[in-house]
Amino acid sequence: MRDLNLNTVCEEAACPNIGECWTKKHATVMILGDTCTRACAFCNVKTGMPGRVDPLEPAHTAEAAAKLGLEHIVITSVDRDDLPDGGASQFVKVIEELRRTTPSTTIEILTPDFRGKMRPAIEAIVAARPDVYNHNLETVPRLYPTIRPGARYYASLRLLEEVKRHDPTIFTKSGVMLGLGEERLEVHQVMDDMRCADIDFLTMGQYLRPTPKHAEVKEFVTPQAFNAYGAIARAKGFLQVAASPLTRSSYHAGEDFAQMRAAREAKLGRTRV
């Protein structure tokens, strides 16, 4: 990755699963640089004024996927509020280059909210047809002013709803962190909101404080509580649910995609009978 001047969210966000994923030759590539224009209270990615967009990034990303023999790749990015399209065109170029270079690789993207530019950004990216479109809600709406002040909860929901409206065949995915001070019923409401937006896949993991300057951990949620949340989510109709203390958006992404695709095929089979 470093030889190709690529960033990974595994390193930048200090993911606790980095050792396991890299041993399996699985990594999430972070495009559009390593500097974010926002400063969310939970995130370890550095903030400031980003540099120029690297025109070689799409080709380098595809080259990395080919060299590693990836069957499934996750592409994410920093927020780029400084760009006219929020960076959407770079996502499109990366997807197109991956399709050309490694056509058998399934593609999952994890995008920012494209604040103020959402509609044209979604139209362009959906037209490039990623297999999975992920955008994380991160937390319950009550905590947005302190945890995710640069974003709006219902705008993020609308983004995922728009993806489905434009192309119902694209799997949609979102995640929340637990342990930030949310209440149980608030988490249940987030699940309901996601299902109303027809989101297919929910991830839930424990928030871990990256540094003392970030939001503090209010609670370490027990594995039993995660299991209970997972059972409730499945009962609400998600095709796939991953809920555990170490769950992160891209953790076991390839395996989860295969299971989600199988679940949809089984559901469609039952519908035809």
109-153: per-residue pLDDT in tens? 999 999 999 999 999 999 999 999 999 999 999 999 999 999 999
Residue 142 CB-half CA count within 13 A: 10
Query: Could you tell me the two tokens for 260?
Result: 């989600």
Sequence length of the chain is 273
Residues 88, 125: contact at Cβ < 8 Å?
yes
Encoded amino acid at 85, one letter: D
Vertex 145 angle, CA 112 and 162, to 5°: 35
What is residue 241's three-state secondary structure?
Answer: strand
Q: Which residues are annotated as a binding site for [4Fe-4S] cluster?
A: 10, 15, 21, 36, 40, 43, 250
Q: Which residues are annotated as a binding site?
A: 10, 15, 21, 36, 40, 43, 250
Domain spanning 2-272, CATH architecture: Alpha-Beta Barrel (3.20)
pLDDT tens for each residue of 23-60: 566 668 999 999 999 989 999 888 999 999 999 999 99
Query: Could you tell me the two tokens for 175?
Result: 């995640």
Measured CA distances, 200 to 28, 55, 171, 208, 240 (Å):
20, 33, 6, 25, 7
What is residue 195's three-state secondary structure?
Answer: helix
Average confidence (pLDDT) over 167-181: 98
Of the ranges 44-48, 173-177, 195-199, 236-240, which one carries the lowest mean pLDDT score? 44-48
Flag whether pLDDT at 157 surpasses 60: yes
Flag whether pLDDT at 15 surpasses 60: no
Flag whether pLDDT at 271 surpasses 80: no
Percent of residues, the chain, with pLDDT higher than 90: 78
Q: At what angle do helices 153-166 and 118-128 cross, to 10 degrees?
A: 40
DSSP 46-108: -BS------TTHHHHHHHHHHHHT-SEEEEEE---TTSTTTTHHHHHHHHHHHHHH-TTSEEE
What ranges do the domains of the chain cover? 2-272
Average confidence (pLDDT) over 202-206: 98
